[in-house]
């Protein structure tokens, strides 16, 4: 190796990527294309993130399949308009093979510590592995720490009990009495899938959901062949879906008073009235809050499942869990063999419980002691060269997460290139810029449909929506080029 080559190699930045889910794989592909050195740290034994972890019956994407693909690696072979989880997991595994990423991934090795030392990040894992990197990309996502309900006696249940994100496939469900706590997106999908299989399905509902009807349309062999042979048509489908989803519905619902929400309510109400035959059941399923205040539930079979002869919808609040089942406040014991908790995730965890320590010993846990926040959802003051994909305040509630991550990583890569070009060692957002953005974001969030009076996982400890509250056009503009004056640059 010549002296020039050696100096060039030393000047090449190295990256640690935390997580091999959708965002982490994206980062790895783009860093590989740029010729940079990178290592992906994955706590599990496979790629896939939430699609690896969630394997419950009925799991599917509620975003159109052709939009839930990397823009640079479109998939012509989706079987349905909204494809099942197993296909999405297979897509990410195929992407990993096509881009030769596996040799750069440390599987079964969770990151436990990231510490800024002498102008670099020292990354340590559960196995004892330790290495220094110039940059860290945290691609941990938000839907990976299961949330368990605070119900008395939960651990006393004598049957099989598990969270929907940790499905136990060894447990026999056919002809068993199954209890399901939760009617969010996961609970709704599980209901449709399990109702025809089990002896009794007791669905415990705290809040009725606005259910958007969607026909489970299958793509024909001819259509898939066309997508394989005509890349322009496949690209057009992707782009058309992006416009209608991101610039249409996803942006419109940011305004609590938009007429589009009225149209959504009308469509959902008509669906409820037409699909549910029993008047008493219909009223139990009728929401009493504004549509889209909670995440909209998209389903083609929930109302079929909830009306199955073997299904009961329980709206009486749960008093406690007992060894034999669920006791509701009316004194009735719902006897069960299996209890499934479709109770969501701890959405404020992000990198936790790993220790992230920035300049002068600053701990991310201390910075986020009240609640997580980030400048433009990607960076935190005091943590140089540390950036997040789909971090705090990202558009998790409405925009396509894949497109969000692609734009965020392009933004981060611009910061990397700017630092390299100007021979700066590190960069991080100014505190003033972060405070300015957080103040603007908080005020805007108060006017969104998510703040119209319902209880949802979109709300922080103050009752303010934590998601990106601005139009997709604003996000696209912000991510197109960094405001360099909002960053500190370290020589």
Q: Give 375-416 pLDDT, tens digit per residue.
A: 999 999 999 999 999 999 998 766 788 999 999 999 999 999
Q: d(Cα 192, Cα 75) in Å, to the nearest integer?
A: 27
Q: What pLDDT does residue 253 have?
A: 67
**Phi, psi at residue 421, to the nearest 5°?**
-60, -35
Enumerate residues 6+ apart whose C-beta is below 8 A from 13. Answer: 36, 37, 134, 135, 416, 420
Q: Which of 208, 245, 138, 142 is nearest to 467 (CA)?
A: 142
> Is the Cα dihedral 17, 438, 67, 163 positive or negative?
positive
Q: What pLDDT does residue 249 have?
A: 67
Domain ranges of the chain: 3-47+101-145+346-490, 154-215+257-341
DSSP class of residue 69? S
Q: Which two tokens stand for residue 125?
A: 């894992």
Q: What pLDDT does residue 252 have?
A: 66
Q: Output b/e per residue, 48-67; b: 16+ Cβ within 10 A.
A: bbbbbbbebbbbbbbbbbbb
Q: Which of 1, 25, 167, 34 is nearest to 105 (CA)?
A: 25
Q: Which two tokens stand for residue 311?
A: 């299904």
Q: What pLDDT does residue 251 have?
A: 67
pTM here is 0.94
Q: Which two tokens stand for residue 243?
A: 């416009």
How many CB atoms are located within 10 Å of the residue 283 CB? 12
Maximum distance among all Cα pairs of the chain, rounded to whole angstroms = 81
Q: What pLDDT does residue 170 have?
A: 98
Q: What pLDDT does residue 398 have?
A: 65
Q: Same topology for domains 3-47+101-145+346-490 and 154-215+257-341, yes or no?
A: yes
- Structural Rg of the chain based on CA atoms: 24
DSSP letters of 161-197? Answer: EEEGGG--TTS--TTSEEEEE--SHHHHHHHHHHTTT
Enumerate residues 6+ apart whose C-beta is below 8 A from 445. Answer: 451, 464, 465, 466, 467, 469
Q: What pLDDT does residue 482 have?
A: 98
How many CB atoms are located within 10 Å of the residue 71 CB? 15
Q: Which two tokens stand for residue 303?
A: 């109302």
Q: Give 253-270 pLDDT, tens digit per residue.
A: 677 777 888 898 999 999
Q: Which two tokens stand for residue 169?
A: 């496939």
DSSP class of residue 44? S
Question: pLDDT below 50 — which residues of the chain?
Answer: 1-10
- CATH dotted code for 3-47+101-145+346-490: 3.50.50.60
Enumerate residues 6+ apart whose C-beta is below 8 A from 458. Answer: 294, 295, 397, 450, 465, 466, 467
Enumerate residues 6+ apart whose C-beta is below 8 A from 219. Answer: 78, 79, 80, 81, 227
- CATH dotted code for 154-215+257-341: 3.50.50.60
**Cis omega (within 30 of 0) for bond into 347:** no
Q: What pLDDT does residue 386 have?
A: 98
Q: What is the distance, to the nearest Å, from the Cα of residue 264 to the centroid of all Cα atoms in its chain?
A: 23
Q: What strands lie across the sheet with 200-204, from one edge to the other?
A: 160-163, 338-341, 177-181, 200-204, 311-314
3-state secondary structure at position 138: strand
Beta strands in 286-336 (DSSP E): 297-299, 311-314, 318-322, 325-328, 333-335
Q: Give 323-372 pLDDT, tens digit per residue.
A: 999 999 999 999 999 999 999 998 888 898 999 999 999 999 999 999 99
């Amino acid at each position: 190796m010549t002296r020039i080559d050696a100096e060039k190699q030393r000047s090449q930045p190295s990256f640690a990527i935390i997580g091999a889910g959708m965002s982490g794989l994206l980062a790895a592909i783009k860093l590989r294309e740029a010729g940079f050195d990178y290592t992906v740290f994955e706590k599990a034994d496979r790629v896939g993130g939430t699609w690896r972890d969630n394997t419950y019956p009925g799991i599917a994407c509620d975003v159109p399949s052709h939009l839930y693909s990397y823009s640079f690696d479109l998939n012509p072979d989706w079987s349905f308009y909204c494809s099942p989880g197993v296909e999405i997991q297979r897509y990410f595994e195929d992407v990993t093979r096509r881009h030769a990423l596996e040799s750069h991934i440390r599987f079964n090795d969770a990151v436990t510590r990231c510490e800024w030392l002498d102008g670099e990040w020292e990354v340590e894992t559960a196995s004892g592995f330790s290495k220094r990197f110039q940059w860290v990309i945290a691609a941990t996502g938000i839907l990976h720490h299961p949330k368990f309900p605070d119900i008395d006696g939960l651990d006393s249940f004598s049957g099989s009990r598990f969270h929907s994100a940790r499905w136990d496939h060894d447990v026999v469900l056919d002809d068993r009495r199954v209890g399901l706590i939760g009617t969010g997106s996961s609970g709704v999908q599980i209901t449709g899938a399990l109702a025809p299989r089990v002896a009794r399905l007791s669905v415990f509902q705290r809040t009725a959901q606005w259910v958007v009807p969607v026909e489970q349309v299958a793509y024909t062999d001819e259509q898939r062949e066309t997508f394989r042979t005509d890349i322009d048509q496949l690209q057009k489908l992707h782009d058309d879906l992006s416009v209608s989803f991101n610039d249409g519905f996803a942006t419109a619902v940011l305004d609590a008073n938009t007429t589009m929400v009225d149209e959504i309510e009308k469509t959902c109400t008509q669906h409820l009235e037409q699909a549910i035959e029993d008047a008493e059941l219909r009223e139990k399923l009728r929401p009493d809050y504004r549509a889209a205040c909670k995440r909209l539930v998209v389903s083609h079979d929930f109302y079929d499942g909830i009306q199955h002869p073997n299904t009961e919808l329980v709206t009486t609040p749960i008093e406690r869990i007992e060894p034999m089942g669920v006791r509701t406040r009316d004194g009735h014991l719902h006897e069960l063999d299996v209890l499934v908790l479709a109770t969501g995730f701890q959405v404020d965890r992000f990198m936790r419980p790993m220790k992230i320590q920035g300049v002068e010993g600053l701990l991310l846990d201390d910075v986020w002691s009240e609640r997580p926040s980030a400048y433009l959802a990607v960076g935190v003051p005091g943590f140089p060269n540390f950036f997040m994909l789909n971090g705090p305040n990202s558009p998790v509630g409405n925009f396509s997460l894949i497109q969000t991550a692609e734009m965020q990583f392009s933004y981060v890569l611009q910061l990397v290139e700017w630092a390299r070009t100007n021979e700066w060692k590190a960069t991080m957002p100014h505190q003033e810029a972060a405070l300015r953005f957080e103040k603007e974001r908080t005020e805007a969030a108060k006017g969104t449909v998510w703040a119209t009076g319902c209880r949802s996982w979109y709300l922080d400890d103050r009752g303010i929506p934590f998601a990106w509250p601005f139009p997709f056009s604003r996000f696209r503009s912000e991510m197109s080029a960094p405001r360099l004056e909002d960053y500190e640059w370290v020589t």
